[in-house]
A and B are shown apart, each in its own frame.
Chain A
Amino acid sequence: MNTKLIRTPIAYGPEGQPTGAGAEHSRSVAPTVGDSARAGLGPIKISAKNIKVFYGEKQALHGVSLDIPDKAVTALIGPSGCGKSTFLRTLNRMNDTVPGARVEGRIEMDGEDINDKKVDPVLLRAQVGMVFQKPNPFPKSIFENVAYGPKIHGLASSKSELEDIVQSALKRAGLWDEVADRLHAPGTGLSGGQQQRLVIARAIAVEPEVILMDEPCSALDPIATAKIEELIDELRERYCIVIVTHSMAQAARVSQRTAFFHMGNIVETGDTEDIFTNPRERRTLDYITGRFG
């Protein structure tokens, strides 16, 4: 078994590049997929097998299996209450924080079971960043928001190093130019779209490998949405991104792989292009053409 999730956090260079042995390790493992349609995508990063989730008596997921490639955007679509957000939250064990929630099944990240007892969920979540539906910046300054993760994980050994991390995260989130002159203004004072990019910067400041996004644009106007989508497209080059979205158009624009959820099951998985142009399942066709949902 790979012990990466139990190790101490990786050190990061000034440009946010992972350095040291742990970082190299994180790029090496993972089985490759022989699927020719997926030629441009990275190897499988996360592999979920037969996931069942219960909230008390209620079962939200009925045995879902999904392979998620690295360096690509995977979109989870489906009508409300179909379990796509629940599935997303199993990937960083956020369901642990929900009282009465229970997860069954195996989720492998780089070949390692993240539900294993030896895995510290707190460290796992540092590796799997998450962006929520409503922008949720902390009631602190912009700088402190981004510095939050690096500080609690002790990623920076000096003040200037911390400043470098914050700057590079803000740059990668495409927010630097807008906030460079007011880093110490409150993060809650930004516009909705800026707040969402701030939250993304906060997530990537701890240099995760996976970023989960739960309907990141549903509270934003079209222009802010376009900016976030552009950003997601740029981030794809470095991270494994999983995005839950209600907007079929958004899934088509930003994702390479799509999984269609319905009633707690995955109906169909495939390359986004195939799903939207040539779905195999009747229910998928009905959903993407707007006949239900």
Chain B
Amino acid sequence: MTWIFLIFMAVFAVLSYLGGRRLAVRRSHGVKPHSRPGQHGLYAVIGVLAPAMAILILASVFSAPIERHLMAAGSPEVVEQLEPFRRQAFMADARRVGDGGQALQIWAAPYAELLPTEGRRAHNIHALLQWGGLTASVIAAILGGLFVFLRIRPDLRARNAVEAWVVGILFACATVAVLTTVGIIFSLVYDSLRFFGMVSPLEFLFGTQWSPQIAIRADQVGSSGAFGAVPLFAGTFLIMLIAMAVAAPVGLFSAIYLSEYASKTTRAVVKPLLEVLAGVPTVVYGFFAALTVGPALRVFFNTIGSWLVGGPLDGLGQYLMLVQNQMALVAGCVMGIMLIPFVSSLSDDIMNAVPQSLRDGSYAMGATKSETVKKVLLPAALPGIAGALLLAVSRAIGETMIVTMAAGLAAKLTLNPLETVTTVTVQIVTLLTGDQEFNSPKTLAAFGLGLTLFVVTLILNIVAMRIVATYREQYD
């Protein structure tokens, strides 16, 4: 039925386009019309589709509550007496039976008999509403067509009207992203406020103890819950530092090579390759960290460690486990590799934006390439590169998958890169996966962490964009 309706509307739209065009030509009477026939056609399509769509959207939004209301109004008393969620389940099963299906639950005596009748009623109400919506939509389309039919004249500014609609549609699309962001912020803030109602913000921001387990029953011991996020911030910061220590020099140097030294052909091969690296899903980097880099580094450091300790074996014939697979160094290194293409691609763009005249000026003074890079290019591009690095930092802080797989879960307050640490993002993941109780501080802590993370990365991004933008202006 929906398909028939859609086909009908499409045919109607095409017809109104052709009709609008014909009409515009026919009514021009030798006068030069303001808009071309095709624009009248588009005007007609909009005139027909816009009211039809509006009605359709209204119908789909309001049909469900109306349906519920109608069902509730006519239902027998026994059904009324059910608890709200049981009643909902009954109505849903009734619908299923009415549509010719099976009930999901087994209902006891009075309800089992009521199912078929209630089901038929639900089916009818649903069909009625659906038909009503579609009919209203078709009527709206026809009325719109009539309106257009009356309006089309040589002096109608169809062109401007179509333009206004185009602007409107583009604006609506742009707004979706912004509104979504605003929605995200509101939900974050709302749940964070609930969290900070239970745990004081001071404890959260400055406490050094993180153990979010909370006693579910009163007789459980040892799980009172501590929400000091400092170890998480420290872990995030440590991993970010390691990642930047890898990504900043390697990314920057490869950008210098690409923009200043590489021949056109090398550049044409290497740059796309680097950008492909940027497209590798972070889960894949996560595997790489957890299954390749982690064990390799563990063996490496344990071997060194056992030399220092004085023997490779402990009493059970095992390597001394001085270091585990999961450590800050592994996550940091792999994250750094992930960020290399990001840093190099941005820095490359920025260095290319430095005018050739500056390079020429330096070469003409008898400077070599590396002198030119060091003394002219890098100072000129420095603000932009700083911006690029800040953007990379903000990504490193927000990165989740690699750290989840390679950094570990222990919230330790340490700066030792060989220790297991945990980050803000990892904790959000662990707090929110699985079955959760949505009014315990344990779950809500995720929103507190999320808000903190959001604020930090937002500030970093704003500062970075500012820097990059002012740098761009400098050479325009």
Which residues of A line the B interface, CB within 8 A? 92, 94, 97, 99, 122-127, 129-130, 132, 134, 136-140, 148-149, 152-153, 199, 202-203, 206
Contacts and interface: CB of A to CB of B under 8 A. Distances in A.
Contacts of A92: 364
B365 A136 contact: no
Given A152-B371, A152-B375, A134 B357 contact: yes
B376 A138 contact: yes
B35 to A, nearest CB: 44
A203 B264 contact: no
A124 B363 contact: no
A94 B363 contact: yes
A124 B364 contact: no
Given A138-B361, A138-B379, 5 more contacts: A130-B364, A134-B357, A139-B474, A148-B367, A153-B366
A132 B361 contact: yes
Contact of A199 (B361, B371, B376): B361
A244 to B, nearest CB: 14
B360 A132 contact: yes
A51 to B, nearest CB: 19
Contact of B358 (A94, A123, A136): A136
Interface string B342-385: 00000000000001011111111111100100011001100000
B81 interface: no
A138 B357 CA distance: 10
A123 B364 contact: no
A152 B375 CA distance: 9
Interface centre among B365, B371, B376, B474 (most CB of A within 10 A): B365
A243 B375 CA distance: 28
B366 A203 contact: no
Given A99-B263, A138-B376, A152 B367 contact: yes
Interface string B238-267: 000000000000000000000000011000
B357 A136 contact: yes
Contacts of B363: 94, 97, 125
A152 B366 contact: yes
Q: Enumerate the 7 nearest inter-chain pairs by beta-carbon distance, A residue then B residue, closest first.
A: A126-B366, A130-B364, A125-B366, A136-B357, A136-B361, A149-B365, A139-B380
A137 B375 CA distance: 13
B2 to A, nearest CB: 60
Nearest to B360: A132
A138 B359 CA distance: 9
A132 B364 CA distance: 10
A124 B366 contact: yes
A138 B372 CA distance: 11
A148 B379 contact: no
Given A99-B263, A148-B375, A152-B375, A138 B358 contact: yes
Nearest to A135: B357
27 contacts: A94-B364, A99-B263, A122-B367, A122-B368, A124-B366, A125-B364, A127-B366, A130-B360, A130-B364, A132-B360, A132-B361, A134-B357, A136-B355, A136-B360, A137-B361, A138-B375, A139-B376, A139-B379, A148-B362, A148-B375, A149-B366, A152-B366, A152-B367, A152-B375, A153-B366, A202-B361, A203-B364
A254 B472 CA distance: 38
Interface centre among A94, A136, A140 (most CB of B within 10 A): A136
A199 B371 CA distance: 18
Chain B's interface size range is 20 to 34
A53 B264 CA distance: 20
Nearest to A97: B363
A138 B380 contact: yes
A137 B380 CA distance: 11
A265 B437 CA distance: 85
A202 B365 contact: yes
Interface string B312-342: 0000000000000000000000000000000
Given A124-B366, A129-B364, A153-B366, A140 B379 contact: yes
A137 B475 CA distance: 13
Contacts of B376: 138-139
Contacts of A97: 359-360, 363
Nearest to A145: B361
A170 to B, nearest CB: 16
Contacts of A94: 360, 363-364
Nearest to B361: A136
Contacts of B368: 122
A132 B363 CA distance: 12
Contacts of A136: 355, 357-358, 360-361
Nearest to A123: B366
Interface centre among A94, A122, A129, A153 (most CB of B within 10 A): A122
Contacts of B358: 136, 138-139
A126 B365 contact: yes
A206 B365 contact: yes
A154 to B, nearest CB: 11
A129 B365 CA distance: 6
A199 to B, nearest CB: 7
A53 B379 CA distance: 34
Contacts of B263: 99
Interface string B159-189: 0000000000000000000000000000000
Contacts of B380: 138-139
Contacts of A153: 366
Contacts of A99: 263-264
Contacts of A137: 361
Contacts of B355: 136
Interface centre among A124, A130, A149, A152 (most CB of B within 10 A): A152
A132 to B, nearest CB: 6
A97 B357 CA distance: 12
Contacts of B361: 132, 136-138, 199, 202
A285 to B, nearest CB: 34
Contacts of A148: 362, 365, 367, 375
A186 B363 CA distance: 21
B372 to A, nearest CB: 9
B150 to A, nearest CB: 61
Contacts of A202: 361, 365
A153 B368 CA distance: 11
A150 B82 CA distance: 93
Interface centre among B357, B358, B359, B366 (most CB of A within 10 A): B366
A139 B378 CA distance: 10
B83 to A, nearest CB: 73
A136 B376 CA distance: 11
A131 B49 CA distance: 65
A120 to B, nearest CB: 9
B267 to A, nearest CB: 10
